[in-house]
Amino acid sequence: METITEYKLWSFTNGSPGATVVQRQDYRKAAAYEVASYFDLATKVAELQFHNRDHILLFRGQGGDYRNRAGYSSLKPSLLRGTGHKNPSLDELRKRFARLTAAEKILAEEYLAAGLLGMERMGRHGIVRWAILQHYEVCATPLLDVTHSLRIAASFASHGADREAYVFVLGVPYLSGGITVSAEAGLQTVRLSSVCPPSAVRPHLQEGYLLGEYPEIAGIGQKALYLHHEMDFGRRLVAKFRFDPRTFWKGHSFPIVGRHELYPSDDPLLDLARRVAKKLEQDGG
């Protein structure tokens, strides 16, 4: 994956009232820029988009700013994450990829049995199966969840957070169609509203996107061709912001998106995903 600072990049760094040009990846080591309210965050992001016109901005909300061994903010897909500063072993990665393959097979079977719309697309495209397994928390995949909605990212970050929540801004090449591939950036961007069936309500409501390596890392053999730091979407980081969720949402102009709206209980695909997860555990996956 190409590092975004190969191009001129504007970001927010502490001590600067406005966006400034940054070099290398040093800003990934700095503390996140503090914002007081959603309006404050939105105006800062507007400035970033104005200056970084060669990139589309996508967002990820988290409860913490997790760092790698070198101290850089790290944004890795769940399948490729280790514990602490340690990377997962090859043995552990083999198990995770095997679990993912087993989950894909069960999902396709359950989907066919349910007779839901989109079976042909589900069968043909692994990225669709990964999207559902990822969004319904059945198992880890090599894809990273992001959203086109700043408000949804900030809401995700706020739920379950205490005094600090974080929004990460990532830059991707211009988007075209449901799946955009950039061979130069080594990146693919998946718009979930275009690839997920309508029965999968959750990714549609979350205005979700997925980021993945290109060429796609489909198994442990291909993963072995990459170094761990090359598969870190922190390399696409434009800026990072932190805020106090207790005061960030005060006022009624920009209310937080509730947990039920992000994870609706009447989602038609939720029961199917639970069946897949249960069968995966029973099969020892």
Mean model confidence pLDDT for the chain: 87
213 pLDDT more than 90: no
- Residue 6: pLDDT above 90? no
> What Rg value do the Cα atoms of the chain yield, rounded?
19
The residue that leads in pLDDT, 23 or 85, is 23
Question: Which residue has better confidence, 76 or 225?
Answer: 76
In the predicted structure, residue 220 carries a pLDDT above the cut 80: no
| Residues 155-164, mean pLDDT to the nearest whole number | 93
* C-alpha torsion 170→9→188→233, nearest 10: -50
Mean pLDDT of 185-192: 87
Judged against a pLDDT cut of 80, whether residue 116 lies above it is answered with: no
Q: Tell me: the pLDDT tens digits for 91-106?
A: 888 899 999 999 999 9
Which one of 69-73, 119-123, 190-194, 216-220 scores highest in mean pLDDT? 69-73
User: Does residue 226 surpass a pLDDT of 60?
Assistant: no
Q: Does residue 159 surpass a pLDDT of 70?
A: yes
